[in-house]
Structure 1
Amino acid sequence: MTLRDSDPREIGGYRTTERLGSGGMGVVYLARSASGRRLAVKVVHAQYADNPEFRTRFRREVAAARQVSGAFTAPVVDADADAEHPWMATLYIPGENLGAHVRKDGPLPLPRLRELATGLAEALRDLHRVGVIHRDLKPANVMLAEDGPRVIDFGISRDAHLYDDGQDLTETGRVMGTPPFMSPEQLADPREVGPAADVFSLGSVLVYAATGRGPFDSVSPFETATRVVTGAPELDGVPPELRPLVEACLDKEPKSRPTPDELLAMLEGRPVPARPTAEAEAAAGPRRRRSRWVAAAAAAGVVLAALASLLVVRAADGDGAATGDVPEGWRPWNVQLKKEKKLPATVAPDCLNAYEALYCTTESTKAVKLDPATGRELWHKRFHKVTTDASSDPPGERRMIGAAHGLVYVHDLRSVTESPTGEIDQQYAVQALDAGTGEVRWTEPTSRTDPTVVTDGEISAVLVGETVFMPDGKGKAILRVDARTGTSRGSASIGGEVDDMRFLLPAGDRAALIHQTVGGDEGTTTHVTFLGGDKGQDRKLKPIRGLLAPLGTDRGDLVLLRTDDMEIKVTHQVRIDLRTGERQELRLPQNLSWTEHRWLADGIVYGESSGRVFALSVRTGRTLWDRGTSVNSLGAPVVAGGTVYFGNISGRMLALDTATGDERWSTLAPKGTPPADPLAEEATRLVLDGDALYAALPGSTVFSIDVTQHRNTPGPAR
């Protein structure tokens, strides 16, 4: 994620370059040292910095992390627990976390599961040898580095020696950890937590890696916690070769779980080290009996009381997303942007978040800048008045193209004309507005959009790096315009007939032009050209037979979908390497309807038809899930933290688990929202910033909710 205006540009002498994420304790940035070494720098949230207990916990985290060798974790490079905002810098580990990898690419095969189990056992052995208990081992805290898994985030770790001395910083009634991957003793009594809790979490992580779900997953964190304490794990899908090891890790009795050394022996086929003597076991008896008694009490309600502390319990999605990661001073809001009364409410405002603000265009006369915390209008810019002689069609719409260099770019309708034969011609321009004041910095006319060049079926210009790409006024070429100044950087010929279908979309550091010709000796043909920001950087690929529609980009590839000969079903996906132009084609396991809505997000195709939502991995071609939902007529989703969020045409929100498709929650339309126009062309458009979800409805309504405030119960947005 790009840095926000409020983010520091330097921490402890290290230059920040990117925001990696936000969790319960603080924000993590990607930074560089003076020598160029990449670091992950964690900065404590401002609201916690003045809390003496929290500072003590942070000092403990730093001390604990420094004791570990770094062979299986992220080694500490530098830290300052006494700074105004305490921070710690560790070596940056490139790669994907286990949770994200499984959601995108599916469960790990057996060889990789063995490698994961071995790496995690080695990491826990390294931690426990120096007296450190992690206490929050979960998929999001396991990085899949090139040289094997690494365990990260010691945010709630503890020193086992302090535990033995009875000095515990965990306040009464608080639960530390992530419920689906916590041990029974963590949920029942935090003072009972020892190294065996990490082994239990290791077993849960292995089940997730093997199946895509946790062994105790349920519809709510409360039910999940109860299953952890009293229920049997669900192990269907775990390979038989690893099942005995997983079952041993998930034993409810901490003393019965294997140690990391025993796990390594089991994985390597060596004799398991001898267990403690009978005398030692007898000495531990009273404590074991107390643990079982506490577990029984937890099932009767202790767990539910502990889980009520939402400030400490992590989100149940397995990604550790903190609650309340919203702009400072945020509250739920709902505003109605003014529009021309003569226009029907058929198109939703188009919004983007940039520069600590929300920028939206209405379907009529203006662009606005809104305070993301309150919805208050900070400025508005009225556009050029549209001239039209069309008898029936209303003026078209404006769209946000993107933001860069302190500017926001808008696709602005200028005129609508109707020919004697009834053909509609819409003329547009691209405008660059100063993000701070709304003043126009430059304007460049562009072509009609019916049906020549479009992006995602919607707009006629894209922003890529330093260049805005747009069709010329005749639809014969793509113009390159300097994003800062609006000056020309040349053009590229499109070719073909004006009536051919064309698509323009960002593709890495270039724009991708997809041009479809229909009929002729070659039949339907798809042409792909990668356009560089300057003349001479273009790459035209060999034509591809058949009709291919662009879906988006994924991991350096342009992804397109191919139809059958009748152009009714989607049968294959085609991936084109953005660097080399090499092409791969993969047959889909089930044909998709060409008329279904489809969106690519984070390596997954989401589709919806009449309330049925499916998810398909474009990396494996495998259908991940297919679910009926309580909401239909959905629009393009946004994805974060293991959840995919949708909005429908009337303003209902829907949240689904990305791994399973299970419905997490849904809402009714916000109170006071005008009813949806039956002629509305699309559903609600969404923008997600942290935990703040912004939704724009047909009819110029924009509202905001905190996604953490909904728990599986439909109701009005609050």
Structure 2
Amino acid sequence: MFEDLSPGDPRLVGRYRIVARIGAGGMGQVYLGRSPGGRPVAVKVVRPELAGDPDFRRRFARETAAARRVNGAFTAGVVDADPEGSPPWLATVFVPGMSLGTALSEHGPWPEQPTLVLGAGLAEALEAIHAAGVIHRDLKPSNVLLAVDGPRVIDFGISRAVETNTQHTQLTHVGTVVGTPGFMSPEQLTGRTVGTPSDVFSVGAVLCYVATGTGPFGTGPANALNFRTVYEAPDLSRVPDVLRGIVADCLVQEPERRPGVAALLDRLAEAVGSGRGATGLLTEPEWMPTVVAQEVREQTSAALPATPCRRHRRPFPPHRLRPPFRRRPPQLRPPWRPLRLRRARRRPSRPRRPGRRRLRDRPRPHRWRPPRRFRLPGAAARTRTGTGARARAGPPSTRRGARPSPGIPPRPGRWPPPVVLGGRVGVAHRSSAAGGALAGWKLLGGGDGNPSGSPSSNSSGSPSGRASASAASSAGKKLWEFGTGDLVRSSPTVVDGVVYIGSDCGCLYALDASSGNQKWSYHLGGDVRSSPVVANGVVYIGSDDGTLHAVDAGSGDRAWTYTTGGDVRSTPAVADGLVFVGSDDGNLHAVSAASGTKAWTYDTGAKVGSSPTVANGLVFIGSDCGCLYALDASDGGQEWSFHIGGESAQSSPVVDDGVVFMGADGGNLYAVDASGGDRKWQFRTGGPVATRPLVLDDGVFLSGGDDAVHLLDPGSGKQRWSCSLGAGVASSPAATDDVLFVGADDSHLHALDVRTGDELWSFATGDAVKSSPAVADGVVFVGSDDGKVYAVGT
């Protein structure tokens, strides 16, 4: 009954995890799926050539809405559908058993009594279908499923969606047959009005087939069957006597002379002659022939196919199986015991190509740009002119792309408003957050450089230098470094003059942004690939110990922890009193920011390494199942999903101007409408895209997927420029006014001109830079696989 999934089959359709193939029909492929709660459903996915037809989508939406109103004992109702999906799909109740067509082909015709009982079940099913204003149009043995408690009619009304403005006997459109020869009524074949009598005709044809093994118009090619249906009388010579009269009345040529469904049900009940009624017999174990009933019971009791293993599962490395005491914080080690630095395998450095020389001294043509006005909270409007990176007005926290605060109306057409936290405006990674919380944003602008309190001593690494008085004169030069003792792939966050960053040593560090001195450290218990997020004086970060940690930003004391079922490499997002984070257990978790208690979870069916973004009351998240989801932030209800195909969605979405930008493993960056989930455009790179794009006024900046950084037009997705770095890129970009920063596997932090993509300078670290940089007060902060955090002048 079931087939294994092929590589091209989806692993998730809507909210349903796809388990196996059931079969294929004229409209598309049918799969066995499971709801988030584990309930089995039958999911029908529309064929691509039909999905691309706007007229089909309209009909499909109309007929699906009508079919969802059907609620009968002998129907397999529609439980969910997405006519606007990519592609459209619908899910129905899953009936464990076999189809009537399979039963007849394997075990032959039925005796008269079971046939009459079956007919009563079909008539009662049609009563429920017609009561909802739906006409089946394609009732045939393969659309009748046999269960232990009666038949189930499926696919009612759906064939109407593929029907086009055909004339008379033209029955196909893009390869799809409207109805089945031998079971269609004459009015379907001749183009007359099709109503409920058409389904009565089909019932008569089905009962004849069940009783004799042959349809009333014989066998042969479709055109021969159709001709006999319209112009010849049915052959009922082998139909049992009691049943023959009922079938003959159903197969009358004139629709108005056929019995109604209610009258048909009465005649079948009378023919059965049971005091319990015809449909009452369907509750008995042997309402079908014995051999058929036995096979149906076996199929019903058989276990359904197990859910396929989630893709991209990584085996647990040996160090995760060690006892906790083997993972002590570095500051607890004896001072005479040197730290053992685990280093990733170095790649040989590549010589700089002649055309890639530094362009710091190259004269640039003057480009006039109109003044830009920025409105900041508590300050008057300021005007900035000029093209240089230093020609800016206002405090250092003002950056390109800053937007009005929530108290000031945003510019028309810009969506959503910015996040203001502690008087600073989020600029890079402008995902969005609500209620003054930080959700997928990096705060650019980190205080006055003189945090209160004296920094503690640095026992695991000491700064090699102090921040210079003028960051402008130290562009591309190291201001300080801090050693953590292990890989640093977490991305820094800078708030109020403090740099927060995690390390694979299992620690979260708080460092003084001006000097690099350690203020405090917090031990998490596993590798840290999640990036910290600060909101309302609390740092939120995930860890490979499967836990989301909430830490006091001032002292480093634990506030609370929340345990998931897998590694937490997703960066949290905070909005409206909730913390949202993904986990390798396949769920997006919503946790109370105050107490750490679960508010709700949403099961995507595959690992969630993507970081959530909150905008306009929706949470946007990607999953390795190959979908981008938009969920209601208050209760986790799915608003829409965008199916990417066989690709994983490990990139983190960014929302800007009502568009969601997100990359995928297939090498594409997608632009999706934030309100409905429709694709606007896609841009293809040379490899998997796991980085977060950056959206500024200049366009969409994308790193990763290949060895290049791309600037794309946000409206069309067309490339404006591309700069090859000569090595793989796993770092997301960050930016100041005119400079873009990105790390690469060539062990360098690169600074590029925002307008042209020319390289301005590069800074060499000791190993690959997979951490995403953050910028504040003229300094760019970034981690490296050499186990260090660097502060570099911009």
TM-score normalised according to structure 1 size: 0.35
Higher percent of residues as strand: 1
Larger gyration radius, structure 1 or structure 2: 2
